Chains A and B, each alone.
Chain A
Amino acid sequence: MTITIIEDWCKGCELCINRCPTSSLEKSKDLNKKGVYPPRLKEENECNFCRLCELICPDFAITVTQEAGEERVQKQKLILGGVAR
């Protein structure tokens, strides 16, 4: 599973970072052409291909690709009555 980000199209609204349900995105270290920090996938992430970031990005900068046969990552930390972050 990969998240491709067209860095120079990003305007830095950070909606993808703030709205990711699994908090899998973070700001990258390098500035892009527009002078903002585009998002990137965290090294340790719980991304489950919900593709919200792809749909919510107003600048078409994010693509989520799921390879064939790849399973969703299940949340491990189950507690009674809900899911722990």
Chain B
Amino acid sequence: MSEMIDANEIRRKYLRDGMLPTIFCNGCGHGNAIDYTFWAIEELGINMDDVALASGIGCSSRIPGYINADGLHTTHGRALAFATGIKAANPDMHVIVFTGDGDCTGIGGNHFIHAARRNIDMTVILLNNFIYGMTGGQLAPTAPKGSIATTAPYGNIEQPFNISELATALGAAYVARWPIFYPYQPIKSIKEGIQTPGFALIELMSPCPTAYGRRNKLGEIDQLWAWYEQNTILIEDYEKTMRYGTEEEKAAVKEKFLIGIFQKAEKPGFFEAYDRMVKKLMANDDAKWGGGGAE
């Protein structure tokens, strides 16, 4: 990345004037997600007029406000539904959705499942911080077992949502998960996600020092970021340990979050398949008769 341009230019080009500093808490990783998206867009050379952003409600959903592109700040959990609408209206747009774990999988779980299943062309940057940060630290469906939240003061007893594995099972075209403090891997994944036709999910694990870290006694900002380092493992390393490791190593590794690229598939997105269908029918003159084939 030696030919990278100056960060000042990036700021001038992509950030909305007068909106900074961000409202995010001290030590929150959401600002990094904005930065990584800028670098990814810069390296791809996409014009910001061709980018449409969508977001729901929550800390992560404030992000389109800082980016100098068209965006929708929509109802809680429905960002993917609105994004589908943007893509349907103008399939040439690069639709990028910023959403959180509570927004995307808690409130809007069904929209997420079906957007991934239908493989709609969009890039979803999901900022997973294990908690509903903006509304005061309620338990999110992604919170690991034993987490303390305002609605789970004695610890979470529910099975947490594994978003990336869910999207993989649903057949999304591109699925990756990274902790937010490794800069180069998320930039590469966002780049690949934008380039991939079909549904691309990039789950970024973003620390929440105010609502999650403080209640769960994960320490100061640097310790909290280090907690993510200690509790994540690359998929390749995980597989290696499961195959050749001792029993203790296997037990230690099972508790950790897998990071890496979960799925990378070449398959047409929903609107590409739809276009092909329309063209086929128009060629056969079937469309006139409402399908079914005339003579």
Interface set of A (CB-CB < 8 Å, partner B):
4, 8-9, 11-15, 18-19, 34, 36, 51-52, 54-60, 62-65
Contact = CB atoms under 8 A, between A and B. Distances in A.
Contacts, number: 68
A36 to B, nearest CB: 8
A8 B21 contact: yes
Interface of B: 1, 4, 6-8, 11, 15, 20-22, 24-32, 34-36, 39, 181, 183, 221-222, 225
13 contacts: A11-B27, A13-B26, A14-B221, A15-B221, A51-B1, A51-B4, A55-B36, A56-B183, A58-B24, A58-B29, A58-B35, A60-B11, A64-B7
Contacts of A51: 1, 4, 7
Contacts of A9: 20-21
A63 B20 contact: no
A65 B39 CA distance: 16
Contacts of B11: 60, 63
Given A9-B21, A14-B221, A14-B222, A65 B31 contact: no
B31 A58 contact: yes
B257 to A, nearest CB: 20
B21 A55 contact: no
Given A55-B35, A56-B181, A58-B31, A63 B8 contact: yes
Contacts of B225: 15
Contact of A59 (B4, B31, B36, B222): B31
A13 B28 CA distance: 9
Contacts of A11: 21, 25-27
Contacts of B35: 55, 57-58, 60
Contacts of B27: 11, 13, 15, 58
A63 B21 contact: no
Given A13-B221, A52-B183, A54-B7, A60 B24 contact: no
Contacts of B222: 14-15, 18
A15 B24 CA distance: 15
Given A13-B27, A15-B221, A15-B225, A59 B21 contact: yes
Contacts of A14: 221-222
Nearest to B36: A55
Given A9-B21, A14-B222, A56-B183, 20 more contacts: A4-B8, A11-B25, A11-B26, A13-B27, A13-B221, A14-B221, A15-B221, A18-B222, A19-B181, A34-B21, A51-B1, A54-B7, A55-B35, A57-B31, A58-B27, A58-B28, A58-B30, A58-B32, A59-B21, A63-B8
A60 B7 contact: yes
B6 A60 contact: no
Contacts of B20: 9, 59-60
A9 B138 CA distance: 29
A59 B32 CA distance: 8
Contacts of A54: 7
A35 to B, nearest CB: 11
B8 A12 contact: no
A60 B31 contact: yes
Nearest to B34: A60
Contacts of B28: 58
Contacts of A18: 222
A67 to B, nearest CB: 11
Nearest to B21: A9
What are the 4 closest A-B residue pairs judged by CB atoms, nearest first?
A58-B31, A55-B183, A11-B26, A63-B7
Contacts of B31: 57-60
